[in-house]
Chains A and B, each alone.
Chain A
Amino acid sequence: MTSYQEFIQQNEDRDGVRFSWNLWPSSRLEATRLVVPVSCLFTPLKERPDLPPVQYEPVLCSRANCKAVLNPLCQVDFRAKIWACNFCFQRNPFPPSYAGISDVNQPAELMPQFSTIEYIVQRGPTAPLIFLYVVDTCLEEEDLQALKESLQMSLSLLPPNALVGLITFGRMVQVHELSCEGIAKSYVFRGTKDLSSKQIQEMLGLIKPAASVQQGRPPAPQDPAATCRFLQPVHRVDMNLTDLLGELQRDPWPVPQGKRPLRSTGVALTVAVGLLEGTFPNTGARVMLFIGGPPTQGPGMVVGDELKTPIRSWHDIQKDNARHLKKATKYYEAMANRSSVNGHCIDIYACALDQTGLLEMKCLSNITGGHIVMGDSFNTSLFKQTFQRVFSKDYNGDFRMAFGGVLEVKTSREVKVCGTIGPCVSLNSKGSCVSENEMGIGGTSQWKVCGLNPSTTLGIYFEVVNQHNAPIPQGGRGAIQFVTQYQHSNMQRRIRVSTIARNWADAQSQIQHIESSFDQEAAAVLMARLGVFRAESEEGPDVLRWLDRQLIRLCQKFGQFNKDDPTSFKLSESLSLYPQFMFHLRRSPFLQVFNNSPDESSYYRHHFVRQDLTQSLIMIQPILYSYSFHGPPEPVLLDSSSILPDRILLMDSFFQLVIYHGETIAQWRKAGYQEMAEYENFKQLLLAPLDDAQEILQTRFPMPRYVDTEHGGSQARFLLSKVNPSQTHNNLYAWGQETGAPILTDDVSLQVFMDHLKKLAVSSST
């Protein structure tokens, strides 16, 4: 038998699934004792170049409340042409088209290697993709120019038949009509007034006011695409729109001294959402919001226009001093929900030196599966390249994006689903497999993910409901089926089905097996998601305490130790890294708000709950590579001891990519040795991390902040804040070594953390 490592890897590659436990405890009681719930990270659209979609529709179980899809785990009676559903045990006849089925002639979905399979649904009309740009014009000239160029560039990346629309806003909101000749025409909305979707559509002339409709003739059925002057195929309005973008001016309303420009972001979004809602409900659409500052007026306002009143900080929020926070959040949440109902996703591209209100607006993207990109300016490569990457294409030349996804989870009867954490929204579909115990977004077995890409990963939490006294027959397996329906970027409707199964294990007799089936990476991420999820609604310290307690309980459960003897504490290999992950997680910006603005926190959390396992782990515990003359680049401990004068360090924390030149290296570089032919090797050394960084930059979305710094440089803080402060001003002399660099912090180091952990784990009083 292959090792669990391989098994896990294999499963991830095939199904995009990573379970915290790969053997499931067979009863509810035991499951709860495992501390880390049975849960998984699921990447619905994991790229599978090797998996061609099948051109027919899935066969469903005929039981109304089951409707599970025929899969390799089902028992099939080829002679009777009957299959038994492995979830509800319903026996179903095959449809007529399967008449030729036999042992040797099986459809793909019955083959074990097709535990994940993708169907193309031919039903229903196909709608073009829609991209609606919502652009803030209260920008500096330079920023606006850069943004305009990016937008113009993006037109060339869109498929010709995609519909585009443009809304600009500042003090007012303008919806530009794209189909007109001659005079450029736009509809203007006041930035301070909340409007219902119906009002917006009336005002845009998309529907007749109710009154006049009643007057007789029934409203003629309209083809939205034909009638909507605001969303037009790229190929038709390419030139027009390019000109229009080119002529975009900064918001012309004067901004008095001491004031912020009036920015009607809230209304602009309402209009965008309302427009799409009325014209293209249930169609893949992407609202792309570009903002250069916080909303300062109207609904969704985050801060007043008085510059003397700074935008809320964590401090304000904790003291309940953020006037607009609740109202704005509620406003954007409502809008996000509306948008998600229609399957439209909202991206936020926020580029400003100060906060832009992401804290309030984050739900727009979180709920609808949109992107959030945060930068300092639109005139940076961070934004430009990130934006470009939104339109990146896969091996088939299709956009790496999908729309209107609906994820449904079906479980065999011993397991129920508690909830998910990720960029999705509940569809409130109750069913037999829904647990009453909610974790994350629960109470449903279906979630809507309006915007998806191949890396979008959901954390899904389960509950074993089998009672302790109702043992599962030996060799039984629990099964879970993920059914994801979505609109592919080539406009096809597709359904991807992943069916997985895990063995049951008796936790009392097989605890070692269970322990060895533990996927500590997945578990760390899944627990981290739970922590982040809690952090959204709870006080920071409470979350940390909860995390700590979970960690301690886990250590107590699986650690080997003698009571009250910390030194005797030992963890098996499958758990050995877990405490370290937790240590870094505690220090991460996902749970620590110190030194982060509310916007940054929101931004980090946003990405954390949607990235796949690898990226998530990087986020929790950045990767540190060391470059030296002593050998090839090597990963080193994320520890202050790794900061040495003659090394170049490359740290990837997902959001930042830091190249740190040690003291000596920095001096050499300053002296210009790299320019000298005889120091070619030094030049090579300098270039090596740059090349590696480039590689990361190429693939990462969003683009990380790229920092090139050196010992003593101000930007070195990015590195210093991440490494384990094993050497601080407090213990530096105690260690008395010249290795590493002391970190000026009072934070506990990993060593201290571990000491405490051991102490608590072995303590009989906890």
Chain B
Amino acid sequence: MNVNQHTPMASPYGQPQPGYGQPGFAPVDGGYPAPYAPYNGPASAYQPGPPPQGPARGPPTSGAPSAPQQYSQYSHSQGDMQNGPPPMTQAPPRPAASQPYNQGAVNLSGPQPSYPQHYGPQPSMQQVTNQMTGMQITSGPPTPAGPGYGTFGWIYISVSQPPVNTAYSAAPPHSYTQAPPPASSAPTQPPAPSPPPPSQQPFNSSLPPTSQQQFTSHAPPLPSSQQTFPPSSYSGPAPTPSHAPAPPVSQPQQSFPPTQPPFSSAPPPNSHPAFVSGPPPPAQGSFQPRAPPPSSQPGSFPPHGPMPPQQQPPPSQLPPYHSGAPPPRVQMPPTSMAQNNHLPPGPQGPPGPPGSMQQPPPQPGIQGGYPPQQNGAFGQVRGPQPGYAGPYPGQPNYGAPAPAPAPAPAAQKRLDPDSIPSPIQVIEDDKAKSTEPFATGVRGQAPPLVTTNFQVKDQGNASPRFVRCTAYNMPCTADMAKQSQVPLAAVIKPLATLPPDETPPYLVDHGEGGPIRCNRCKAYMCPYMQFIEGGRRFQCGFCSCVTEVPPHYFQHLDHTGKRVDCYDRPELSLGSYEFLATVDYCKNNKIPQPPAYIFLIDVSYNAVKSGMVNIVCQELKTLLDYLPRENPEMDSVVRVGFVTYNKVLHFYNVKSSLAQPQMLVVSDVSDMFVPLLDGFLVNVNESRLVIESLLDQIPEMFAETRETETVFGPVIQAGLEALKAADCSGKLFVFHTSLPIAEAPGKLKNREDKKLIGTDKEKSLFQSQVGFYNTLAKECVAQGCCVDLFLFPNQYVDVATLGVVPVSTGGSVYKYTYFQALSDKERFLNDLRRDVQKLVGFDAVMRVRTSTGIRATDFFGSFFMSNTTDVELAGLDCDKAVTVEFKHDDKLSEETGALMQCAVLYTSCSGQRRLRVHNMAVNCCSQLADLYRNCETDTIINFFSKYAFRGLLNNPTKAVRDTLINQCAQILACYRKNCASPSSAGQLILPECMKLLPVYLNCVLKSDVLMPGADVSLDDRAYLRQLIGCMDVPESHVFFYPRLLPLFESGSLPVAVRDSEERLSKGGVYLLETGLHLFLWVGASAQQELLLNIFGTPSFSQIDPSLTSLPVLDNPFSQRMREIIESFRAQRSRYMKLMVVKQEDKSELIFRHFLVEDKSASGGASYVDFLCHMHKEIRQLLS
């Protein structure tokens, strides 16, 4: 059972679900298998829903098309989301009527649509939706059926707060709803006639154009009404339309149902029942709902509407949601909405046409490949249609959903994926918006997203590269904070590497007295200090205490009260800078020794056999010339030492005066000590010959070893003792292969027990097996001994326990499961090189000071804390981030805002003691709406994931998941209740800046850590859990929502597509990046020319799936591809091995695992399903 066995993998899948059946994948890579194995057969997972689709897909390559359609829809939906409003608009046109329908959804903008699916899925849903649609459309008319259900209509208001709009894009969202309605909706809608398939409509809502489609779709149901809807919700249009078409064919409702089914179809029905009931109609409706909050409400409600009878009630509900935001948006939004819409439109645009096409019954035809969709029956929906390749092809989808349904009529209506908020859309919007350098001078200004390339100008606050906050408008009071449940946290990466065009923090020397600090709170001099009394004193911005300015630091003030030298002094004008620390800041009041690096290499049988030993030794010979140094001109002062070990340790004396290195064996592992002092830690240049001789001989010496047992605890102890003996801090590089079962302290036993997963005891698997390592970690921290662990396991090694020391000392764990010299060498070496070369601070202490009113209460990351305030890091490198949570302990004022100062005292790699200071000021607000206007979802997710992953240590996984969902629901419910304009309860309304919260949260919930597939080994989970702990926002973002790039032309970097199978075109080639993995997915019918350009072979079947790098071919496309891959790698702290995944190949299962918007093989909900669920949660909270 173990672990990683490939073979096992198979079984896992095989099991129940069709999808899983495919065992193959797991095996794929040595390394991966285990982890990913879980995946089902690729699509299969989805298929459930798909079945219907399946057929669709299969048959027509179109299958793909259909898929795409759906996707496109989604994408649209995203657009829609934004558009959501549009629906609203639509709604507006026909308030009541529209509501029932998707329109409602429309309002929601994209997101909503999707939800329904899960929940609503059930037949009834569909019907409902249909009805809804109908309802909406005409309001009463066709919908009737839906009536009762209507309630479900979900309205996602992507635009959280219309008001926000004012500031930024925020507005846009709103605009969506609003905007959409006006323009597009109307027009398109007309076509709606097709509406019958109203359900689809919702989706369409997103894009005006689509909306049209929607209309059509909707139309079917409610000819006229629909029309209105669709238009209203931009997206709405699209989706519905598609459906519409279908509907026409079948019955509107039916069509819908089918659509839904695909998603949650079968399963959902039951599971979601709750939703269903409501949802069914709502589902669609709901999605759409968004669109026209106000109007939409009606419209969106339409879903509710669908339940005409019930509708009424629903409507009411809806209103509530919308209430806050919706209304405003509707109107306001228009413009903004428009924007949003626009975006979507873009995509939609394309789809639009098809959509529109589709909408009309013709849709099928329209879609071309897609057609099926509409038919619903076809189910093609999912199938990635070649045509869709385009990012936003979506629209068709709407219909698509329906199509699927066809087969499974039961299936309720699906949400149009395009109508729900699209991460890609948001990312692209932000990119488009962020053209100017980001100046940090304005307090409370949220920086561009992490996915955006931007330049930073430090004008008094720390660059977002150093500090990112969850909220840039902090609530003034604890009550507000509690009510909103928005986490107040900052992700701090103190030693982050800046791009070359930005200046690294200046080094300030305040002389012998050391840095100037506040007398009371000890905050360091910073721009927030107010100089008074002509400059003789300064008042602390954090604690308000007044402190004398030392004579040597005195300076006059100018007429504005600023010091004259303000701009000459980094500490008075910048957000980030460094102080030179004095001896008072050193351990034992002694200037620290330069740090040392010790390499500890496992030379047991496995290590030698896998080639690891040889590779490490070879590499070190050159790598040692690149030890970190601050001045590139100088030699590094870092000393090095070498140890090899199996179940005993071998130290090496590499003193420069020796002709040959000497090996000192220490077998007394129960009581580790360092056998030599002089000659163990040496300067590389002085001892070069001896070191090279040693590195040459190590592989030879152990070539014939038959020792398989290893120790681990004593290895770290040895390094620690060596550093102690040399009285310096430093870093240990441990290269380890197996579970340390040899008799020694820290001995472990194999405790991997799959049976514990899912039980209350599961948490124990994440805890350290023995207390030994915790104690050891503490000692390491005290000495400033940072441990980096490179693992090369062939079976369970208990990462949870082995990782304790690295994690507590600010080190890293690298894991190369089933390491094979040939295929993994490059990844390992790149990681090693980077790890050895990167700048790192030692023996660091970080302290976060805040202004009165809030307090840093909790910290997440790789470090150790012996008290509640000081974060102790034996080592802190440029890739490590610490997430800090703040809590109120008093009131904040809007006037002064909230200040925080993060000071890190560390020893640089040249042995200099320094203080790095990052200052950050954010606004405070007394209105919840302001809070919701200025949040950063990526950072929130970073916080949530760390919070949850740490929670795993003490709570059952399920509880952790539930907590996450709850908090998320509360955040959104609070918004809905307090900020959104009144609207039907059936509407899902999301704050603009958090509209991706559900999709991202779903990704967190679906991660291997929180929801392991059958083949995910315990080690992998523990590894990931620890890995996330110190990730910064850019990495956690891509980790949870991988970047999926279509590679078609050689031009500029293509726009990413959403992580869903439906977005994949069989004829395309895609690159997927997670920060840890890099996949190149090749469609089965990729053009020969494309393949020739990339692989040098025109034949799909001749592509070698074991490639780890692309062949160097002399054509622009190949070159471009390689550049892209290189640039991706350069952006991440760990090297990503390239995996070529051929469509339909076994390895595709692994790949599919990263299509996070889809349902996962391990049971993770699809985006749409989850959105529905989230909506339900919110509704429950509100009622």
- Are B677 and A252 interface neighbours, CB within 8 A? yes
A177 to B660, CA, bound (A): 15
B676 CB-CB contact with A under 8 Å: yes
- Residues of A near B665 (CB, < 8 A) are 177, 185-188
- Residues of B near A204 (CB, < 8 A) are 667
Name, among B648, B667, B673, B743, the residue most crowded by chain A CB atoms within 10 Å (CB to CB).
B667
A713 CB-CB contact with B under 8 Å: no
A203 CB-CB contact with B under 8 Å: yes
- Are B667 and A183 interface neighbours, CB within 8 A? no
A253 to B676, CA, bound (A): 7
The answer, among B652, B664, B677, for a CB contact under 8 Å with A174, is B664
B666 CB-CB contact with A under 8 Å: yes
Interface mask (A245-263 → B, CB under 8 Å = 1, otherwise 0): 0010000111000000000
- Residues of A near B662 (CB, < 8 A) are 183-186
Binding site for A on B (CB under 8 A): 648, 650-652, 658, 660-668, 671, 673, 675-679, 694, 697, 700-701, 743
Closest approach, in angstroms, between the C-beta of B749 and any C-beta of chain A?
13
User: Given A183-B701, A189-B667, A189-B668, list of 7 further CB < 8 A pairs?
Assistant: A182-B700, A184-B660, A184-B663, A187-B666, A189-B666, A190-B671, A199-B668
Interface mask (A159-182 → B, CB under 8 Å = 1, otherwise 0): 000000000000010100100001
Name, among B661, B675, B678, B679, the residue most crowded by chain A CB atoms within 10 Å (CB to CB).
B675
- Are B667 and A205 interface neighbours, CB within 8 A? yes
**Given A193-B671, A195-B668, A203-B648: A186 and B663 within 8 A (CB)?**
yes
- Are B660 and A190 interface neighbours, CB within 8 A? no
Closest approach, in angstroms, between the C-beta of B711 and any C-beta of chain A?
12
- Residues of A near B658 (CB, < 8 A) are 247
- Are A183 and B660 interface neighbours, CB within 8 A? yes
A209 CB-CB contact with B under 8 Å: yes
Closest approach, in angstroms, between the C-beta of A141 and any C-beta of chain B?
15
Q: Enumerate 22 A-B pairs (CB-CB under 8 Å) in ascending A order.
A: A172-B673, A172-B676, A177-B665, A182-B660, A182-B697, A182-B700, A182-B701, A183-B663, A183-B694, A184-B660, A184-B662, A184-B663, A186-B663, A187-B666, A187-B667, A188-B651, A190-B673, A195-B668, A199-B668, A202-B667, A203-B667, A253-B677
Interface mask (A191-220 → B, CB under 8 Å = 1, otherwise 0): 001010001001111000101000000000
- Are B701 and A252 interface neighbours, CB within 8 A? no
A17 to B667, CA, bound (A): 51
- Residues of A near B666 (CB, < 8 A) are 187-189
The answer, among B651, B673, B679, for a CB contact under 8 Å with A252, is B679
- Residues of B near A187 (CB, < 8 A) are 664-667
- Residues of B near A205 (CB, < 8 A) are 648, 667
**Given A172-B675, A172-B676, A174-B675: A186 and B664 within 8 A (CB)?**
yes
Closest approach, in angstroms, between the C-beta of B816 and any C-beta of chain A?
28
A203 to B660, CA, bound (A): 24
Closest approach, in angstroms, between the C-beta of B672 and any C-beta of chain A?
9
- Residues of A near B677 (CB, < 8 A) are 252-254
Instruction: Find residues 262-313 in chain A having any chain B CB closer than 8 Å to their own CB.
Output: none
Which A-B residue pairs are the 9 nearest by beta carbons?
A: A203-B667, A188-B675, A252-B678, A187-B665, A185-B663, A184-B662, A190-B673, A188-B664, A183-B663
Name, among A183, A187, A190, A209, the residue most crowded by chain B CB atoms within 10 Å (CB to CB).
A183
A183 to B701, CA, bound (A): 9
- Residues of B near A174 (CB, < 8 A) are 664, 675
A352 to B768, CA, bound (A): 53
- Residues of A near B660 (CB, < 8 A) are 182-184
Binding site for B on A (CB under 8 A): 172, 174, 177, 182-190, 193, 195, 199, 202-205, 209, 211, 247, 252-254
- Residues of B near A185 (CB, < 8 A) are 650, 662-665
- Residues of B near A182 (CB, < 8 A) are 660, 697, 700-701
A187 to B663, CA, bound (A): 8
- Residues of A near B650 (CB, < 8 A) are 185
Closest approach, in angstroms, between the C-beta of B874 and any C-beta of chain A?
25
A247's nearest neighbour on chain B, judged by CB, is B658
A202's nearest neighbour on chain B, judged by CB, is B667
B651's nearest neighbour on chain A, judged by CB, is A188
Name, among A172, A193, A253, the residue most crowded by chain B CB atoms within 10 Å (CB to CB).
A172
- Residues of A near B671 (CB, < 8 A) are 190, 193
A190 to B717, CA, bound (A): 14
A204 to B663, CA, bound (A): 14
A252 to B673, CA, bound (A): 15
A188 to B652, CA, bound (A): 12
- Are B664 and A203 interface neighbours, CB within 8 A? no
Closest approach, in angstroms, between the C-beta of B593 and any C-beta of chain A?
14
B696's nearest neighbour on chain A, judged by CB, is A182
Closest approach, in angstroms, between the C-beta of B718 and any C-beta of chain A?
11
- Residues of B near A252 (CB, < 8 A) are 676-679
A202 to B652, CA, bound (A): 21
Closest approach, in angstroms, between the C-beta of B177 and any C-beta of chain A?
72
- Are B743 and A211 interface neighbours, CB within 8 A? yes
Closest approach, in angstroms, between the C-beta of B667 and any C-beta of chain A?
3
- Residues of B near A190 (CB, < 8 A) are 668, 671, 673
- Residues of A near B648 (CB, < 8 A) are 203, 205
A188's nearest neighbour on chain B, judged by CB, is B675
Closest approach, in angstroms, between the C-beta of A632 and any C-beta of chain B?
60
A189 to B666, CA, bound (A): 6
B664's nearest neighbour on chain A, judged by CB, is A188
Closest approach, in angstroms, between the C-beta of A135 and any C-beta of chain B?
16
Closest approach, in angstroms, between the C-beta of B207 and any C-beta of chain A?
70
- Residues of A near B697 (CB, < 8 A) are 182-183
A205 to B665, CA, bound (A): 11
A205 to B701, CA, bound (A): 16
**Given A183-B663, A186-B663: A203 and B668 within 8 A (CB)?**
yes
Closest approach, in angstroms, between the C-beta of B892 and any C-beta of chain A?
55
A190 to B667, CA, bound (A): 10
Closest approach, in angstroms, between the C-beta of A573 and any C-beta of chain B?
66
- Residues of A near B667 (CB, < 8 A) are 187, 189, 202-205
Name, among A186, A193, A254, the residue most crowded by chain B CB atoms within 10 Å (CB to CB).
A186
Closest approach, in angstroms, between the C-beta of A558 and any C-beta of chain B?
63
Closest approach, in angstroms, between the C-beta of B301 and any C-beta of chain A?
73
- Residues of B near A184 (CB, < 8 A) are 660, 662-663
B669's nearest neighbour on chain A, judged by CB, is A203
- Residues of B near A203 (CB, < 8 A) are 648, 667-668
A247 to B658, CA, bound (A): 9
A253's nearest neighbour on chain B, judged by CB, is B677
B649's nearest neighbour on chain A, judged by CB, is A188
- Residues of B near A186 (CB, < 8 A) are 662-665
- Residues of B near A189 (CB, < 8 A) are 666-668
A185's nearest neighbour on chain B, judged by CB, is B663
A293 to B87, CA, bound (A): 95
Closest approach, in angstroms, between the C-beta of A99 and any C-beta of chain B?
58
A253 to B725, CA, bound (A): 10
B678's nearest neighbour on chain A, judged by CB, is A252
A204 to B668, CA, bound (A): 9
Name, among A188, A190, A203, A205, the residue most crowded by chain B CB atoms within 10 Å (CB to CB).
A188
Closest approach, in angstroms, between the C-beta of A138 and any C-beta of chain B?
14
Closest approach, in angstroms, between the C-beta of B647 and any C-beta of chain A?
9
A252 to B658, CA, bound (A): 14
A211's nearest neighbour on chain B, judged by CB, is B743
**Given A182-B701, A186-B665, A193-B671: A209 and B743 within 8 A (CB)?**
yes
A184 to B659, CA, bound (A): 10
B707's nearest neighbour on chain A, judged by CB, is A205
A183 to B658, CA, bound (A): 11
A398 to B666, CA, bound (A): 39
A254 to B725, CA, bound (A): 11
- Are A193 and B668 interface neighbours, CB within 8 A? yes
A357 to B245, CA, bound (A): 104
- Residues of B near A188 (CB, < 8 A) are 651, 664-666, 675-676
Closest approach, in angstroms, between the C-beta of A100 and any C-beta of chain B?
60
- Residues of A near B694 (CB, < 8 A) are 183
A252 to B679, CA, bound (A): 9
A177's nearest neighbour on chain B, judged by CB, is B665
